[in-house]
Structure 1
Amino acid sequence: MLKAPEFWVAVAFVIFMALIWKKASAAIGSMLDARAEKIRAELDEAQRLREDAQATLAAYQKRQSDALKESEAIVAHAREEAARIRAQSTADLEAALKRREAQAMDRIAQAEAQAIAEVRNLTVDIAIAASRQLLSQGIQPAQADKLIDASIADLPRHLH
């Protein structure tokens, strides 16, 4: 058997295979280790990106919540301002109406005073006219009393 060339070819093949296997297994192991390290790095990167995405999502949700609260506060402030303006407008309108009513009452009082003055003037004019008539005709006192009574009774007709 030691003299058979097939034996030595088989021994050489086994040694050759052992050497190649040793180097190949080291190369394959290092390739697999590198591939595993690359996958591990990609997983770590994916985990970091996921955490960043969750942090960004939380930040955006917080911003949205803050914006919603701020918009609600703005709407509430606008409603309060509208109510205040409405109340102020109502108060201003009531004050303006009271001023106009007071002005109208003043005008009415002035018109009444003017009407009373006109009535007095008319009464004086009628009395003067009656006096002139009495003086010019030389009327008896009994007749003068009748004329004065008639003039006084006639006043309402002249006033209207």
Structure 2
Amino acid sequence: MFVDPQFWVAIAFIIFIVAVFNPIRKMLGTTLNSKIQDIKNSIEEAENIKNETQNTLSDLKKRQNDVQIEIENIHKDAKEKIQILESQAEEKLKEKIDKRNLLATAKIEQMTRDANAAIQRHISRTAIEAAVTILKKKLDQNEKQNLINRSIKELSSVFKN
């Protein structure tokens, strides 16, 4: 067996295969290991990106909720301010209407007083004119003089008091 050349060819072939394939196997193992490590790194990086994205998404959702709450608060405050402004405007309008009503009432009362005074003056003038006309027709000169003297005395007594 040790003398047989086929045996030594087989041994040489095995040694050659081991000698040639061992570095190739190591080289393939190293290459595959580096590829595996690259893939692991890529997966780890993808997981990190995924986690960062989820954190960013949760932050954005929280901010969105905060903004939504702030919008609702602003909307509620705006409604309250609008109601306050409406009530103030309504109050001011009511005050203006009341003032105008008072002014209109005062003007009407003044116009009524003026009309009454004008009517009284007219009635007085008419009565005086009628009295003068009647007195002119019915009184003689002597009675007229007596009436004038009596009127002067009455007016004097009225002005003294």
Q: Structure 2 length normalisation: TM-score? A: 0.80
Give me the whole-angstrom Cα distance separating, in 1, the residues matched to 2:91 and 2:102. Answer: 16
| Residue of structure 2 in register with 1:155 after alignment | none
Is 1:48 matched up with 2:13? no
State the alpha-carbon separation in 2 of the partners of residues 47 and 85 from structure 1: 55
Which residue is 1:103 aligned to? 103
Query: How is 1:1-160 mapped onto 2 (pairs within 5 angstroms)?
Result: 1-138=1-138
Structure 1 CA distance for aligned equivalents of residues 16 and 133 of structure 2: 169
Structure 2 stretches lacking a partner, 5+ long? 141-161
- Which digits, 9 at most, give the CA deviation of each residue in 1:113-154, with x for residues without a partner? 1112112201211221122112211159xxxxxxxxxxxxxx
Q: What residue identity is the alignment partner of 2:31?
A: M
Deviation at residue 3 of structure 1 after TM alignment:
3.0
Match of residue 151 from structure 1 = none
Alignment: residue pair count: 140
CA drift of 1:28 comes to 2.2
Deviation at 1:25, TM superposition (A): 2.4
Deviation at 1:89, TM superposition (A): 1.3
TM-score, normalization by structure 1: 0.81
- Within 1, Cα distance between the matches of 2:13 and 2:59? 66
Per-residue deviation at 1:88? Answer: 1.0
Q: In 2, Cα distance between the equivalents of 1:122 and 1:54?
A: 99
Letter in 2 for 1:75: H
Question: 1:115, 1:3 → 2: CA distance?
Answer: 161
- CA offsets 1:20-55 (integer angstroms, 9 cap, x no match): 232222112212211121111111101110011111
CA RMSD after TM alignment: 1.6
CA distance in structure 2 between the aligned counterparts of 1:99 and 1:105, rounded to whole angstroms: 10
Q: Return the alpha-carbon distance in structure 2 between the equivalents of residues 47 and 55 of structure 1.
A: 12
Higher relative contact order (CA 8 A, sep 6+): 1
SS in 2 for 1:2: coil
Identity rate of aligned residues, in percent? Answer: 28
User: Which structure 1 residue ranges, 5 or more long, are not aligned?
Assistant: 141-160
The whole-number CA distance in structure 2 between the counterparts of 1:106 and 1:139 is 47
